[in-house]
Chain A
Amino acid sequence: MLEVRDLHVTRGATEVLKGISLEVLEGETAALIGANGAGKSTTLLTLSGLLRAKSGTVRFEGASGSIDLTKLAAERIVGEGLVQCPEGRQIFHSLSVEENLSMGGYLRRDRASLGSSIEEVHALFPILKERAKAAGGTLSGGEQMMLAIGRALLARPRLLLLDEPSLGLAPQMIERIFDVIETLKKRGTTILLVEQNAAMALDIADRAYVLENGRITLSGSGRELADNDRVRQAYLGIAS
């Protein structure tokens, strides 16, 4: 579904990604874990076309076939089915919950089935229906996260990128969000999850990568990485 080869990205004078390669197969949930500043968000922003790669390729099985995303405009990438739910939620504060969701479906031509998609999102997150008319900015952090995920789902992702969905949320809400990710996974949504909360991410992931200083230093199944001594020490806070 997604195959990243030798991706280099610079921001300002700094080379943030120093040639990373990773892949996500259809139906899989992949996790990208790493410390602050390792380049996780840079990776996702490059995939979405908001940052430009200096070199390397991003091959994606999109709506119009297998394409290289590195030269594509951000709106085309969404159209191809690679949709990101960004770090810090980034909902539209001044727009109503309803309008936020409709912006998720901005590129969809099938106006008719959009309504039933919104109902599906409402079924997943009933609070979004209750607060349909409320301004996005008045929602609590957890509700905003649900709105951000709902909005991304309405773009009908073939591959959903989730950037730090647990960031800044109460433990109970993190639990809830991961339940939803689990549900999406069971429904066959392909997911690339970026997390600092490595324990939960590795638990849910079929495949995982560790990103350190702009390089992939470890990869394997979620289970393998969770059992890896270095990962346990560095990311799971377990002394070996």
Chain B
Amino acid sequence: MSQYVFQQLINGLSLGSLYALVAIGFSMIYGIVRLINFAHGDLVMIGAFSTLGFVAMGVPWPLILVFVLMIGALAGMTIEATIFRPMRGAQQVTGFIATLAVSIVIQNVGLMTLSGQPRNFSFPAFMRQRVQLGSVSASVTDLSIIGLTLLLIALLLVVVYRTRLGTAMRATADNLMAARLMGIAVNRTILFAFAIGSGLAAVAGLMWGGKFGQIDPLLGFAPGLKAFIACVIGGVGSIGGAMLGGYLLGLAEVLFVGLLPPAFSGYRDVFVFTMLIIILLLKPSGLFVRHVEERA
């Protein structure tokens, strides 16, 4: 494999990792409360700026990772408990509009307090080195993003499929009323889903900053939207679908640009959205979901 193709592949996988991390949380939240959460991308921004803050304070990187995860989780839980929970009984569109409002509030508070000026963001020097793998090489940053993402996803799957709380969360997503009748405190499992999803998004923010080198208070918009698309591609509400959708989207974006003549590179989003439309026409419930259960 030529270095060029390999580089594109690694690029696609690392971008896909970011999309997958954000998409998984998006999907978990939709799965449990049927809420299209457009504020989810802004947790990426919160994660990126928290990282910057911790770096300025001289916190070591492994601790920063843990702290950012916790800050994301706390932010997500706060939003859920104060804004989304009181709207639970309302129509779906009410919740949807509320998430847009939350997103605008977060972005504007960010602009006011942090200024709209992009800030430089850099990982430690060794992260910017390249590793030689036979005839090809890849950056430590990209490899770390891919590796850490896979590790986090593995941990998530263990929590969701092997623990009592994870099972209760799936039960709540499956049938809220039955979950309540079994004595599951559903507000707690919903809070838990928000904590996990938002924590993952914040970690994606840390990675986002390291990968692109600059952050600003509006950076959450793109990953939020892409996560939504990844979920739709994969099948909304399924963790595996969101993950695969994220990787597919990341790879598609990078490969469209990288493997086609440079004249087409400006059409990147056109290709991506055309792909989305075609997938939705052929498989409306997403690529990786066998059936969709309608729920009132």
Contacts and interface: CB of A to CB of B under 8 A. Distances in A.
B183 A75 contact: yes
Contact of A151 (B164, B177, B182, B185): B182
Which one of A74, A84, A93, A151 has the greatest number of beta carbons of chain B within 10 Å? A74
Interface residue tally of chain A, by bracket? 20 to 34
A107 B185 CA distance: 10
A53 to B, nearest CB: 17
Given A74-B183, A92-B178, A103-B182, 15 more contacts: A48-B180, A48-B181, A74-B180, A78-B182, A78-B183, A79-B183, A83-B181, A86-B181, A90-B178, A92-B175, A93-B175, A95-B167, A99-B170, A103-B184, A106-B164
Contacts of A34: none
A95 B164 contact: no
B180 A103 contact: no
Contacts of A92: 170-171, 174-175, 178-179
Interface in A59-108: 73-75, 77-79, 83-84, 86, 90-95, 99, 102-104, 106-107
B294 interface: no
A155 interface: yes
A50 B171 contact: no
Interface in A26-76: 48-50, 73-75
Which one of B168, B171, B181, B184 has the greatest number of beta carbons of chain A within 10 Å? B181
A138 to B, nearest CB: 12
B180 A93 contact: no
Contacts of A93: 174-175, 293
Contacts of B170: 92, 94-95, 99
A112 to B, nearest CB: 15
22 contacts: A50-B180, A75-B180, A75-B183, A75-B185, A78-B181, A78-B182, A79-B183, A84-B181, A86-B177, A86-B181, A90-B177, A90-B181, A91-B175, A93-B174, A93-B175, A94-B174, A95-B171, A99-B167, A99-B171, A103-B179, A103-B182, A106-B184
A120 B157 CA distance: 31
B183 A107 contact: yes
B288 to A, nearest CB: 14
A149 B118 CA distance: 59
Contact of B182 (A73, A94, A106): A106
Interface residue tally of chain B, by bracket? 10 to 19
Contacts of A49: 180
A50 B181 CA distance: 8
A102 B181 contact: no
Interface string A5-26: 0000000000000000000000
B167 A90 contact: no
Q: List 9 tightest A-B contacts by C-beta distance, closest first.
A: A78-B183, A90-B178, A107-B183, A92-B174, A74-B180, A75-B183, A75-B185, A103-B171, A92-B171
A140 to B, nearest CB: 17
Nearest to B184: A106
Nearest to B185: A75
A83 B183 CA distance: 9
Contacts of B293: 93
Contacts of B181: 48, 50, 74, 78, 83-84, 86, 90
A93 to B, nearest CB: 6
A149 to B, nearest CB: 13
A95 B40 CA distance: 27
Contacts of A78: 181-183
Nearest to B165: A106
A13 to B, nearest CB: 16
B178 A86 contact: yes
A207 to B, nearest CB: 24
Which one of A83, A90, A155 has the greatest number of beta carbons of chain B within 10 Å? A90
A86 B175 CA distance: 12
Nearest to B180: A74
Interface string A127-171: 000000000000000000000000100010000000000000000
Contacts of B164: 102, 106
Nearest to B183: A78
Contacts of A155: 182-183
Which one of A73, A75, A155 has the greatest number of beta carbons of chain B within 10 Å? A75
Nearest to A136: B174
Nearest to A102: B167
A147 to B, nearest CB: 11
Interface string B125-160: 000000000000000000000000000000000000
Nearest to B188: A75
Given A93-B293, A95-B167, A99-B167, A104 B174 contact: no
B183 A106 contact: yes
